[in-house]
Chain A
Amino acid sequence: MTKYRYVAPATVDEGLEILRQGGGKVRIAAGCTNLLPDMRAKELADCVLMDISGLGELRGVDADGGSIRIGALTTIDEMLHSPLLEQEAVALWRACRQFADPLVRNRATVGGNLANGSPAADSAVPLLALDASATVASRAAGKREVPLCELWRGPYQTAIAADELITAITFPRDAARRSWFIKNGLRRAMAISLITVATAVKQDGCVVTGARVALGAVGPTPLRARRTEEYLQGRAIDAATLAEAAEIVRGEISPISDLRASKEYRTHLAGVLLRRALEAVRA
């Protein structure tokens, strides 16, 4: 007899009620690109699979006043084919282009990628640089906005409670912002990132008036490089700035050595990719 049970809510409200009743035993099934391998590899404990893939209300990319809103069930492929994201969120669009492979992109959802909590999640890094927040809903507390820089607590650990569901991702629109994303993996498809870097920079002439730098797979969670950001403020992105920024970012990360790369290699690469990601957004 199977140890899993299955339920497919017809609405978000119904889903939140199931999460409330579930007492932590509910696993959310959306694109299932992480869930099915997890179930196969780890034999997850007795749980209810709550299939939210039919909730159309959680799908789509819209410009909503001054911000862009992406429904949590929007697939990576749908994001890749959004002209709005291609024009206004280049870092995110570029991350979608390099995400897993074209077939997985047809299933994997942005909400699932963030909620899974991998330090190497490819949508997390550009969204951090774009200053995004997750809209999280629950029966008990209604809706709350969680800035992505507060979403992750450790590898595969998030600030999302067991009775909560990510319903959308939002970030501010900003025509003056230029953003970029670089991924380094061992092959082009289906490679877990060795390291990812995203930059989002505003400049007045050639002087940086606001910079956000995010990195993935170089610490327990996707992270913002705050000291590098502060250093860039008020400077021109020239050779000296690039060299110094690369040094600073190497001090802000704590990569591990694993079978994909050594700590030293990842540390070196962080500086190299940051330089490239800053050169790409230079005015």
Chain B
Amino acid sequence: MEFKQQVAIKVTVNGADIRAAVAPEESLLDFLRKQCGVTDVKCGCGMGECGTCTLVLAGKVVKSCLVLAAQADGREVWTLQGLERDPLAARLQDSFARHGAVQCGFCTPGMLIAARGFLQRSPQPTRAEIREALSGNLCRCTGYQKIVDAVWAVAYGDAAEQERA
């Protein structure tokens, strides 16, 4: 078997087929930001702690700093900017804005991707479940309460939100 110093990959990023050569150790995060210009995946810690680089790989919500770019070969990647027409992502974005669940905005793309993946699987969550689902995404501005409120409102509607308040 051949040990490669460059790996040729073909990845579908936000619907576009991309062919590229990546270094063996290159993370999917670095590949997207540096070679694809997909900069809504943010690099916070680069060590899997903060979740700002969250995206959807082959249908799973993952932290892209913990994936080798080579491991995305033949797979589909969706980041927030590719989900513009996704109804659930749009409702979440709107809800985040209305609830003031955004301050500096650095964590927001990852937060939205994680929340979307969670609501797809658990459309009727408890607040504790929302907190657990977002526990891999750090936000150093909002204190999380408004983020949880925003996700809750998408699940149950603003009427439920007012009732709770």
A residues near B (Cβ < 8 Å) are: 1-2, 4-9, 14, 17-18, 29, 31-33, 36-37, 39-41, 48-49, 51, 53, 77, 100-104, 106-107, 188-190
B93 CB to nearest chain A CB (Å): 19
Residues of chain B within 8 A of A2, CB atoms compared: 5, 23-25
Residues of chain A within 8 A of B7, CB atoms compared: 6
Cβ–Cβ contact A103 & B1, under 8 A: no
Chain A residue nearest to B46 (CB atoms) is A40
Given contacts A7-B2, A190-B48, 18 further A-B contacts (CB under 8 A): A1-B5, A2-B23, A4-B5, A6-B5, A32-B67, A32-B68, A32-B71, A36-B48, A49-B25, A51-B68, A51-B70, A100-B136, A102-B114, A103-B61, A104-B66, A106-B61, A107-B67, A190-B135
Give A109 to B112 CA distance when docked, in angstroms.
25
Q: Of residues 18 to 60 in B, which have CB atoms within 8 Å of A's CB atoms?
A: 23-25, 27, 46-49, 51, 54, 60
Cβ–Cβ contact B68 & A36, under 8 A: yes
Pick from B4, B62, B114: contact of A6, CB under 8 Å: B4
Cβ–Cβ contact A189 & B135, under 8 A: yes
Give A38 to B137 CA distance when docked, in angstroms.
21
Residues of chain B within 8 A of A33, CB atoms compared: 48, 66
Cβ–Cβ contact A101 & B3, under 8 A: no
Cβ–Cβ contact A104 & B136, under 8 A: yes
Q: Within 8 Å of chain A (Cβ to Cβ): is B116?
A: no
B136 CB to nearest chain A CB (Å): 3
Q: Within 8 Å of chain A (Cβ to Cβ): is B89?
A: no
Residues of chain B within 8 A of A6, CB atoms compared: 3-5, 7, 24, 70
Give A36 to B62 CA distance when docked, in angstroms.
14
Give A7 to B2 CA distance when docked, in angstroms.
7
A-side binding surface: helix, strand, loop or mixed?
mixed
Give A4 to B69 CA distance when docked, in angstroms.
14
A263 CB to nearest chain B CB (Å): 26
Give A18 to B1 CA distance when docked, in angstroms.
7
Residues of chain A within 8 A of B24, CB atoms compared: 2, 4-6, 49
- Given known A100-B136, A188-B132, contact A5–B47 (CB-CB < 8 A): no
B residues near A (Cβ < 8 Å) are: 1-5, 7, 23-25, 27, 46-49, 51, 54, 60-63, 65-68, 70-71, 114, 118, 132-133, 135-137
List 15 A-B pairs, Cβ < 8 Å.
Answer: A4-B23, A5-B3, A6-B4, A7-B2, A9-B1, A36-B65, A36-B66, A39-B25, A40-B46, A40-B47, A53-B71, A102-B132, A102-B133, A106-B60, A189-B132
Give A172 to B79 CA distance when docked, in angstroms.
42
Chain A residue nearest to B59 (CB atoms) is A106
Residues of chain A within 8 A of B54, CB atoms compared: 103
Give A253 to B133 CA distance when docked, in angstroms.
34
Pick from B1, B27, B46, B118: contact of A102, CB under 8 Å: B118
Give A17 to B46 CA distance when docked, in angstroms.
33
Give A240 to B50 CA distance when docked, in angstroms.
45
B73 CB to nearest chain A CB (Å): 8
Residues of chain B within 8 A of A5, CB atoms compared: 3-5, 24
Residues of chain B within 8 A of A102, CB atoms compared: 61, 114, 118, 132-133, 135-136
Residues of chain A within 8 A of B5, CB atoms compared: 1-2, 4-6
Residues of chain A within 8 A of B1, CB atoms compared: 7, 9, 14, 17-18
A83 CB to nearest chain B CB (Å): 16
Residues of chain A within 8 A of B51, CB atoms compared: 101, 103
Pick from B2, B49, B68, B136: contact of A49, CB under 8 Å: B68
Pick from B4, B23, B62, B70: contact of A103, CB under 8 Å: B62
Chain A residue nearest to B27 (CB atoms) is A36
Chain B residue nearest to A6 (CB atoms) is B24
B59 CB to nearest chain A CB (Å): 10
A193 CB to nearest chain B CB (Å): 15
Chain A residue nearest to B135 (CB atoms) is A189
Residues of chain B within 8 A of A14, CB atoms compared: 1
Cβ–Cβ contact B3 & A7, under 8 A: yes
Residues of chain A within 8 A of B23, CB atoms compared: 2, 4
Give A225 to B104 CA distance when docked, in angstroms.
49
